[in-house]
Amino acid sequence: MKLSSRARYGLRAILELAQEYGNAPLQIKMIAEREDISNKYLEQLIAMLKAAGLVRSLRGPRGGYMLAKPPAEIRLKEIFVTLEGPMITAECLEHPEFCPRCMDCATRDVWAELQNAINGVLESVTLADLVERSLHGKKNSNYQI
Amino acid sequence: MKLSSRARYGLRAILELAQEYGNAPLQIKMIAEREDISNKYLEQLIAMLKAAGLVRSLRGPRGGYMLAKPPAEIRLKEIFVTLEGPMITAECLEHPEFCPRCMDCATRDVWAELQNAINGVLESVTLADLVERSLHGKKNSNYQI
DNA sequence: AAAGTACACTACTAAACAAATAGGATATTA
DNA sequence: TAATATCCTATTTGTTTAGTAGTGTACTTT
Q: Does the structure show a pLDDT above 50 at B145?
A: no
Nucleotide showing the shortest C1' distance to residue B56 CA: C7
- The whole-number pLDDT of residue B92 equals 83
Half-sphere exposure of B138 (CA within 13 A, CB side): 14
List of E strands, chain B? 55-58, 64-67
Average pLDDT over residues B103-112: 88
Distance from CA of A111 to the nearest CA of B (A): 9
Distance B49 CA to D30 C1' (A): 34
Comparing A52-66, B53-67, B106-120, B125-139, the range with the smallest average pLDDT is B125-139
Distance (Å, rounded) from C-alpha A10 to C-alpha A45?
6
Distance B36 CA to C8 C1' (A): 22
Comparing A38-47, A63-72, B1-10, the range with the smallest average pLDDT is B1-10
- The whole-number pLDDT of residue A144 equals 45
Contact flag, residue B63 CB and nucleic strand C, below 7 A: yes
pLDDT of A3-14, one tens digit each?
999 999 999 999
Helix (H) or strand (E) holding A55: strand A55-58
Please judge whether B110 and A131 are an interchain contact, meaning their C-beta atoms are less than 8 angstroms apart. Answer: no
Distance from CA of A67 to the nearest CA of B (A): 17
- The whole-number pLDDT of residue A137 equals 65
pLDDT of A73-106, one tens digit each?
999 999 999 999 987 778 888 888 777 777 778 9
B chain contacts of residue A106, beta-carbon cutoff 8 Å: 15, 130-131, 133-134, 138
The two most distant CA atoms of chain B are separated, in Å, by 61
pLDDT of B16-59, one tens digit each?
999 999 999 999 999 999 999 999 999 999 999 999 999 999 99
- The whole-number pLDDT of residue B54 equals 98
In chain A the first and final C-alpha atoms are separated, in Å, by 17
Closest residue, CA to C1' of D6: A59
- The whole-number pLDDT of residue A96 equals 80
Average pLDDT over residues B91-98: 79
Distance from CA of A2 to the nearest CA of B (A): 5
Distance (Å, rounded) from C-alpha A55 to C-alpha A71?
11
Q: What is the pTM of this model?
A: 0.91
Q: Which of A3, A79, A107, A138 to mutate to test the interface with B (most CBs of B within 10 A)?
A: A107
Nucleotide showing the shortest C1' distance to residue A58 CA: D6
Nucleotide showing the shortest C1' distance to residue B63 CA: C6
Q: What is the mean pLDDT of chain A?
A: 91
At residue B143 the predicted structure's pLDDT band, cuts being 50, 70 and 90, is very low
